[in-house]
């Protein structure tokens, strides 16, 4: 009875009386908003109400219309003022919604009305929130306010609908008054930080997509289009973006290096210049990839693995045992995932030098970390693993004549694949299998190369247009955020749980104790592609110890690079949570 008849009467009566009482306050706020923030005074936005019908919600504006020299609106953070923050934190910006209540668009109490774009992402149960009018306040607002996560928030919304009564509404209004007065639950994390529902979730009700498009067409706004939701896999770049990029930074000046097309060719150049005769031997980390071994094999070296621990640091005691047994001519060192996993070996390096052993350090995964190196004779590193470039590697320590020929075939093939992936993700054009095939073709070209080329002009342009400080900060933030979520899962062990200040992480490496393949498949079904990174090279399969074998069998790496934000890290956590609810591994 209350839900269908008296609730609307209650809303209208209380709101009308309330508007009369607070009319002087509204008049003052209108004046202050006009003076401090400009015109128009009110901010209107399309939201979804009862029976999934759209309406325009009315609020006081909380940002200015500040623009740059070209007339473009400045970012939100630059348009906020202390007065605008005050309006939001005190919830005074929501007072005009009382007019929505009078009109019948909203109720005083109910689930908060949200954006049309979210409609396809509600579950059937969550869609019950639209069987009543949306409210200025609700059960979710008094149980966390801005701190409620989406899932928790919708549980409160459905609970409200299922237990709707006059006395519950009175209790919610009463508690809302004290929440707002005390400014409780204002802060982070919030649903804004968690990311929009359309970012952290897959579509639940595809039949609602057309309806959203109809709403947007009639009421204004962009039509439904899924934001690029893939996490992991190959980098991509929009063709329009590439054609308009500007070289704003001198990023290639950070290294006194030769810039080659690939890291394997950089290693090859070092080996080519060494005067090693007879039975050539190279000592490499037990955990590595076949492409690192290739240049050694091509130059006639027999390759041997040295031991790494479970946390990927070098076991220097066992390392020296390998040196004494093998008597290598060349040693390759590798800092994994941006971390200083070869620390503590300075004295070992000095001993190797005295023995005439050449030391090469592969910088690939720690290129942008700032800790001191171990003092290798030569340093190499692949740039193309860090950003959307077709090729690129550094070589330091070797005084060589810089090649002038680009590998145009490789560069063109890689750029074509990245452009097509960009078209697919940003505009929904093309076919996923097309760019996957093109990436594979580009890798085939790479594997066939024996000559040394210089880094392409396309790569130079992209690198010098990249804000490396921003890239580093995003990677660090993503790593920390994902690390917080991964602590919830006993079946996943973080290899590097702490992030030192001098580390820019390459990926987030973990050890999956059970069912790695099944977990990968489940995540791939949700467009998340954690990678195993390397399979054990055939040359090492009979030579590595049990620790290295365990790493190959259990390691999995999450992408935390600059393509992603907090929302994608939360999405990874949410999908993992869903998986481990189904699969309870000890």
Q: Domain containing 541: what range?
A: 467-582
The residue from 413, 443, 463 where one domain ends is: 463
304 three-class SS? strand
Q: Could you report the average pLDDT of every consecutive run of 10 residues in the chain (586 residues)?
A: 87 94 93 90 93 95 79 70 85 93 96 92 94 94 74 93 93 86 50 63 84 85 62 91 88 89 94 86 95 94 95 93 94 96 89 92 96 91 95 91 91 95 81 90 91 95 94 95 92 95 97 92 92 93 94 96 89 90 67
The reported pLDDT for the residue numbered 303 is: 95
| Residue 373: exposure state from Cβ atoms within 10 A (0-12, 13-18, ≥19) | middle
Listed residue (232, 195, 186, 230) closest to 117, CA to CA: 195
Is residue 24 one of the residues assigned to a domain? Answer: yes
Longest CA–CA span in the chain (Å) reads: 98
Q: Let me know whether 459 and 501 are in one domain.
A: no
Whole-angstrom distance, CA of residue 280 vs CA of residue 517: 38
The CATH number of the domain holding residue 481 is 3.90.1150.10
Q: Are residues 184 and 279 in the same domain?
A: no
158 and 9 in one domain? Answer: yes
Among candidate residues 31, 27, 9, 8, the one with its CA nearest the CA of residue 19? 27
Report the 10 Å Cβ neighbour count for 325: 10
Last residue in a domain, options 439, 463, 487? 463
Q: Residue 55: its pLDDT value, please? A: 95
Same structural domain, 322 and 295: yes
Question: In CATH, what number is assigned to the domain containing residue 396?
Answer: 3.40.640.10
**Do 485 and 547 share a domain, yes or no?**
yes
Roughly how many angstroms between the first and final C-alpha of the chain, as a whole number? 51
Q: Is 231 helix (H, G, I), strand (E, B) or coil?
A: strand
Q: Is the peptide bond prior to 189 cis by the omega test (within 30 degrees of 0)?
A: yes
Does residue 282 sit in the same domain as residue 144? no
- Please report whether residue 546 resides in a domain: yes
186 and 301 housed in the same domain: no
Please report the pLDDT score of residue 75 as a whole number: 66
Predicted model pTM? 0.73
Q: How many structural domains is the chain composed of?
A: 3
In a domain, 531, yes or no: yes
Please tell me whether residues 492 and 351 are part of one structural domain.
no
The reply to whether 27 and 143 lie within a common domain is yes
Quick check: 286 and 306 in contact, CB under 8 A? Answer: yes
Pick the closest to residue 140 from 164, 159, 125 (CA basis): 159
- Domain end point (choices 169, 202, 219): 219
- 283 and 324 in a single domain? The answer is yes
Beta sheet of 508-512, edge-to-edge order: 492-494, 508-512, 555-558
Write down the H helix ranges in 80-137: 82-89, 97-103
User: Phi, psi (5° rounding) for residue 504?
Assistant: -110, 110
Instruction: Decide if 240 is inside a domain.
Output: no
Kindly state whether residue 142 falls inside one of the protein's structural domains.
yes
Separation of alpha carbons 525 and 4, rounded Å:
43
Q: Give yes or no: residues 266 and 382 share one domain.
A: yes
What is the C-alpha radius of gyration for the chain, rounded to an integer number of angstroms?
Answer: 29
Identify whether 488 is part of a domain.
Answer: yes
pLDDT value, residue 188: 37
Classify residue 413: in a domain, yes or no: no
CB 130 within 8 A of CB 52: yes
- Tell me if 175 is assigned to some domain: yes
Shared domain for 394 and 280, answered yes or no, is yes
């Amino acid at each position: 009875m209350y839900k269908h008849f008296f609730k609307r009467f209650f809303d209208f009566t209380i709101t009308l009386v309330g508007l009369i009482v607070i009319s002087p306050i509204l008049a003052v706020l209108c004046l202050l908003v006009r003076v401090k923030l400009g015109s128009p005074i009110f901010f209107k936005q399309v939201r979804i109400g009862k029976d999934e019908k759209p309406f325009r919600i009315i609020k006081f504006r909380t940002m200015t219309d500040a623009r740059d020299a070209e007339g473009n609106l400045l970012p939100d953070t630059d348009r906020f003022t202390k007065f605008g923050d005050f309006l939001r934190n005190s919830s005074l910006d929501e007072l005009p919604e009382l007019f929505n209540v009078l009109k019948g668009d909203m109720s005083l109490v109910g689930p908060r009305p949200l954006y049309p774009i979210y409609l396809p992402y509600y579950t059937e149960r969550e869609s019950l929130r639209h069987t009543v009018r949306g409210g200025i306040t609700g059960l979710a607002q008094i149980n966390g306010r801005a701190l409620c996560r989406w899932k928790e928030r919708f549980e409160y919304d459905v609970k409200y609908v299922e237990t709707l009564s006059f006395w519950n509404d009175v209790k919610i209004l009463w508690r809302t008054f004290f929440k707002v007065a005390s400014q409780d639950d204002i802060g982070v994390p919030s649903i804004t930080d968690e990311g929009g529902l359309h970012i952290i979730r897959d579509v639940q009700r595809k039949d609602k997509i057309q309806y959203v498009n109809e709403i947007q067409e009639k009421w204004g706004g962009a039509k439904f289009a899924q934001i690029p939701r893939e996490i992991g896999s190959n980098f991509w770049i929009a063709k329009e973006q590439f054609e308009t990029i500007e070289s704003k930074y001198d990023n290639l000046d950070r290294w006194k290096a030769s810039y080659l097309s690939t890291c394997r060719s950089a290693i090859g150049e070092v080996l080519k210049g060494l005067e090693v005769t007879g039975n050539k031997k190279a000592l490499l980390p037990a955990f590595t990839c076949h492409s690192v071994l290739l240049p050694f094999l091509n130059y006639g070296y027999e390759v041997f693995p040295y031991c790494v621990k479970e946390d990927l640091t070098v076991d220097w005691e066992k390392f020296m045992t390998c040196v004494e047994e093998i008597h290598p001519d060349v040693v390759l060192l590798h800092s994994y995932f941006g971390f200083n996993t070869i620390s503590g070996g300075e004295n070992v390096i000095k001993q190797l030098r005295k023995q005439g052993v050449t030391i090469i350090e592969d910088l690939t995964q720690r290129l942008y970390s700032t800790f001191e190196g171990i003092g290798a004779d030569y340093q190499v590193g692949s740039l193309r693993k860090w950003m959307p470039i077709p090729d690129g590697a550094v070589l330091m320590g070797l005084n060589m004549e810089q090649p002038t020929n680009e590998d145009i075939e490789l560069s063109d093939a890689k750029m074509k694949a990245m452009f097509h992936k960009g078209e697919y993700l940003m505009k929904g054009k093309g076919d996923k299998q097309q760019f996957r095939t093109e990436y594979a073709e580009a890798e085939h070209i790479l594997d066939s190369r024996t000559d040394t080329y210089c880094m392409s002009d396309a790569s130079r342009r992209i690198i010098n247009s990249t804000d490396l400080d921003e890239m580093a900060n995003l990677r660090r933030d993503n790593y920390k955020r994902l690390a917080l979520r991964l602590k919830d899962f006993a079946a996943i062990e973080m290899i590097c749980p702490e992030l030192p200040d001098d580390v820019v992480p390459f990926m987030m490496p973990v050890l999956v104790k059970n069912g790695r393949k099944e977990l990968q498949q489940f995540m791939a079904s949700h467009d998340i592609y954690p990678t195993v990174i390397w399979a054990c090279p055939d040359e090492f399969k009979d030579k590595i110890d049990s620790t290295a074998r365990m790493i190959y069998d259990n390691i999995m790496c999450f992408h935390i690079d600059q393509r992603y934000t907090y929302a994608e890290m939360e999405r990874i956590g949410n999908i993992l949570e869903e998986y481990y609810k189904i699969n309870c591994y000890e």
